[in-house]
């Protein structure tokens, strides 16, 4: 398709601005060359973005089983709530008495999320999961520092962890101690015991973990870390499997982040905006960042006594919080656990219907997602996890997560989510099975896939390492 710079022509435009009613100011001339902005009519601009949107696969286009990302359908009522003028046409510096409704949204969301996670205080400021991790780690650091315990410099992270975990720990100034997982994908207690000690600041763990399994030793894991004087951080990206059923607070975790854009239903995948609230136990609350709603009848903003500062401007991505609250209130006390149960049911249904052809990386019942390994297939036919993923695109299915977690060779991680019907799952199962047949009979065709999309196989490494971010006229 044409780039925006190649559309339109000199003199076209769509600005309908009122006449200027303030005195003009002449700025010192900085620019040596004239700025060459595209000139398009409103119609041309609208078509440009519609064309772009058509090139993209979203939840509204079809099945999107991208493991660990929880690409569930986002109910439109959330959008309706988030587009109310009282939420969109406000200013963060407006006097508190004029935005009581917004404070109430934050207060209720914090309360409900604390209840779901078993935490006692929460900040809505972080903009994403990774940002929440960083924030949570700073809380842990502030806690150890406040007790004069300066030797706790290490964060233990299992090798199955999402890449953001070790990255956040390093950004927060810690050293990462990676511990290998057992063959069943769970934490190796002996390795954990050996790693935990006087220099342990804490452990970061995802549960259910990144291979889709609930660690049955979770209480022992968290107590090993506590006994060593460390804190437990819960990566809540997989909360969709257990929300309303099991609480990180009861599992022995002290800090948790949630990905509102995953579990609590905000469209994501295009780079944001997201929201990664961080909840904690009461003893960490004095360190929370930003301003939080306080008061009873009349609400006001309050800063924690030993706050680590701000991690984002004002109140975070507020409209994502509005969507999350709308989602929480529409599903309610019965609907939230039911969504989790259906997410787990859908994953197990798909896994069971595929496991005679596709070897699963771990045996037994899964939680909300499962990981298959195409190692044997690649060895026998030359067809890789990448080939399978690419060929799904020709059937209108978004590929599963590929080559993650790193501990599984030729991994494909499938997360169907609770919002898919049995019919959709059956169609997807049939497609997976058809592709498997093709891999056996005509492997060469799979190396060519996809053939029905606008773009075939871009050079992904090249695109990441040498991105072209500027249009050359």
Ligand X SMILES: *Cc1c(COP(=O)(O)O)cnc(C)c1O
State the first-to-last Cα distance of the chain, in angstroms, to the nearest integer: 17
Q: Outline where DSSP puts E strands in 3-158.
A: 121-123, 154-158
Which of these ranges, 103-111, 126-134, 293-301, 455-463, lies near ligand X under the rule CB under 6 A? 126-134
Which of these ranges, 79-87, 128-136, 288-296, 464-472, lies near ligand X under the rule CB under 6 A? 128-136
Check binding of 72 to ligand X (CB under 6 A). no
Measured from the CB atom, the residue of 71 and 119 that comes closer to ligand X is 71
Give counts: helices (H), strands (E), the chain.
16, 12
Q: What is the SS3 assignment for 326?
A: helix
Measured from the CB atom, the residue of 129 and 158 that comes closer to ligand X is 129
Residue nearest to ligand X (CB): 129
Q: Least distance (Å) from ligand X to the CB of residue 371?
A: 13
Measured from the CB atom, the residue of 235 and 387 that comes closer to ligand X is 235
| Site residues (CB under 6 A) for ligand X, limited to 13-52 | none
Which of these ranges, 95-103, 123-131, 186-194, 292-300, lies near ligand X under the rule CB under 6 A? 123-131
| Site residues (CB under 6 A) for ligand X, limited to 384-443 | none
Our CA dihedral for 298, 299, 305, 308, rounded to 10 degrees, sits at -170
Report the residue from 112, 113, 130, 339 that binds ligand X according to the rule CB under 6 A. Answer: 130
Distance (Å, whole) CA 109 – CA 424? 32
* 108, 325 contact by CB (below 8 A): yes
The angle at the Cα of 35, spanning 34 to 37, to the nearest 5 degrees, equals 140
On the 0-12 / 13-18 / 19+ scale of CB atoms within 10 A, 424 is: middle
Q: What is the SS3 assignment for 225?
A: helix
Q: Least distance (Å) from ligand X to the CB of residue 359?
A: 23
Which of these ranges, 13-21, 37-45, 122-130, 278-286, lies near ligand X under the rule CB under 6 A? 122-130
Measured from the CB atom, the residue of 253 and 436 that comes closer to ligand X is 253
Which string of x and - marks every residue 162-201 that binds ligand X (by CB under 6 A)?
x-x-------------------------------------
DSSP at 66: B
* 284, 202 contact by CB (below 8 A): no
| Site residues (CB under 6 A) for ligand X, limited to 244-273 | 259
Which two structure tokens, joined as six digits, stand for 42? 């409103």
Q: Least distance (Å) from ligand X to the CB of residue 54?
A: 25
Q: Least distance (Å) from ligand X to the CB of residue 383?
A: 26
Report the residue from 129, 158, 252, 267 that binds ligand X according to the rule CB under 6 A. Answer: 129
Report the residue from 210, 307, 317, 373 that binds ligand X according to the rule CB under 6 A. Answer: 210
* 208, 347 contact by CB (below 8 A): no
Measured from the CB atom, the residue of 165 and 391 that comes closer to ligand X is 165
Run of H or E including 103: helix 100-117
Report the residue from 123, 181, 200, 206 that binds ligand X according to the rule CB under 6 A. Answer: 206
Q: Which residue has the tokens 């959709």?
A: 424
The angle at the Cα of 415, spanning 410 to 419, to the nearest 5 degrees, equals 160
* 413, 369 contact by CB (below 8 A): yes
Measured from the CB atom, the residue of 264 and 436 that comes closer to ligand X is 264
Q: What is the binding site for ligand X (CB under 6 A)?
A: 68, 128-130, 162, 164, 206, 210, 235, 237, 259, 274, 276
């Amino acid at each position: 398709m044409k780039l925006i710079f190649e559309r339109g022509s000199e003199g076209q435009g769509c600005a309908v601005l009122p006449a200027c009613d303030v005195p003009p100011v002449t700025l010192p001339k900085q620019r040596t060359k004239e700025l060459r902005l595209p000139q398009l009519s409103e119609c041309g601009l609208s078509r440009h973005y519609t064309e772009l949107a058509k090139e993209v696969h979203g939840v509204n286009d079809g099945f999107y089983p991208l493991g660990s990302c929880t690409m569930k359908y986002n109910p439109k009522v959330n959008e309706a709530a988030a587009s109310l003028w009282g939420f969109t046409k406000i200013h963060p510096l407006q006097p508190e008495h004029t935005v009581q409704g917004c404070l109430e949204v934050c207060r209720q969301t914090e309360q409900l999320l604390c209840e779901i996670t078993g935490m006692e205080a929460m900040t809505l400021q972080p903009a994403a999961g990774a940002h929440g991790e960083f924030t949570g780690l700073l809380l842990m650091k502030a806690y150890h520092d406040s007790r004069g315990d300066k030797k706790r410099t290490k964060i233990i992270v299992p090798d199955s962890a999402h890449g953001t975990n070790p990255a956040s720990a390093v950004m927060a100034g810690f050293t990462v101690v990676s511990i290998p997982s057992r063959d069943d994908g769970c934490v190796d207690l002996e390795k954990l015991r050996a790693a935990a000690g006087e220099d342990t600041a804490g452990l970061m763990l995802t549960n259910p973990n990144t291979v889709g399994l609930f660690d049955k030793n979770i209480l022992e894991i968290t107590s090993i870390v506590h006994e060593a004087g460390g804190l437990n951080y819960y990566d809540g990206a997989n909360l969709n499997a257990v929300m309303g059923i099991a609480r990180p607070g009861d599992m022995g975790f002290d800090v948790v982040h949630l990905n509102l854009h995953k579990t609590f239903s905000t469209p994501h995948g295009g780079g944001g905006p997201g929201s990664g609230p961080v909840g904690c136990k009461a003893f960490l609350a004095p360190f929370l960042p930003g301003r939080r709603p306080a008061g009873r009848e009349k609400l006001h903003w309050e800063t924690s006594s030993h706050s680590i500062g701000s991690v984002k401007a004002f109140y975070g991505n507020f409209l994502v919080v509005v969507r999350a609250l709308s989602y929480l209130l529409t599903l309610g006390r019965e609907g939230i656990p039911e969504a989790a149960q259906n997410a787990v049911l859908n994953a197990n249904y798909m896994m069971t219907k595929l496991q005679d052809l596709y070897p699963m990386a771990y045996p037994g019942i899964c939680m909300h997602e499962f990981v298959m390994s195409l190692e044997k297939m690649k060895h026998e036919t030359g067809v890789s996890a990448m080939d399978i993923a690419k060929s799904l695109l020709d059937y209108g299915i978004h590929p599963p997560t590929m080559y993650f977690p790193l501990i599984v060779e030729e991994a494909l991680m499938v997360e169907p989510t609770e919002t898919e019907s049995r019919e959709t799952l059956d169609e997807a199962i049939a497609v997976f099975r058809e592709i498997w047949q093709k891999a056996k009979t005509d492997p060469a065709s799979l190396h060519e896939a996809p053939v029905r999309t606008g773009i075939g196989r871009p050079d992904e490494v090249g695109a990441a390492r040498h991105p072209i971010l500027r249009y050359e006229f």
